[in-house]
Amino acid sequence: MGNVSPSACMEVKDGTHVAKVVLMPGDPLRAKYVAETYLQNPVLFNDVRGMLGYTGIYDGVEVSVMGSGMGIPSITLYSHELFTFYGVEGIIRIGSAGGVGDNVNVRDVVVAMSASTNSAAPSRYGLPGTIAPTADWGMLRDAVRIADEMGVRTSVGSVYSSDFFYYPDPAVAEKEKEAGLLAVEMESAGLYTEAMYAHKKALALFTISDHLFKPEHLSPEEIKTSFHEMMEIALKTAADTVRKLG
């Protein structure tokens, strides 16, 4: 499918299209890495503003991967355009996160069942009270099953989507831990809320790159290249979802 409606920050190239399910890392170069490493015959469908997007074949079905940028405003912009203008039915965020929970370790895979946030974005949708954005149950269930079959250590629960990378109050990490949150990142609440209102599917998976209460962290190069288990879980979940969508 080509560009069916004007969009602000994407333009699907002639002769290319976006698959029904899209993996979204924050870094567009990580999207390029995933496409070149895991997809057969990847084709670049978008490079506007350097936000690279590719469509290729994984396990016999079409899957796309595209960068989202950093933060809730960026991922909601791109997910809205993918859901609204390009026929996308599901988005799986793949990324890194900082561990918070005691039982979460560096390199673990976290599956975000729900996402709390300090962002004002969800409040702008007009629903009285507080929105509680959550993952699509079918994709979450499939991801956990696939991880179990692969023997990958996972934690399933709530994460915290922060508008701050460098939070002004360092004590906030203790509050996140006390609330039972597993990890902190910057996009999932926006993606889940956008999917909620678009009546589409969304899931967020993370490899823990560092821990706020443990002396462990991954280098930038390890963050870029060593997330193979999380990526494979996401790709297999995406392929299963495409098959179910028909």
Active site residues: 210
Alpha-carbon gap, residue 238 to 39, rounded angstroms? 12
Q: Which residues of 133-143 are buried (b: 16+ CB within 10 A; e: fewer)?
A: bbbbeebbebb
Terminal CA-CA length for the chain: 16
- Report residue 229 CA to chain centroid gap: 15
The token pair at 42 is 């990847």
- Non-local (6+) Cβ contacts of 220 within 8 A are none
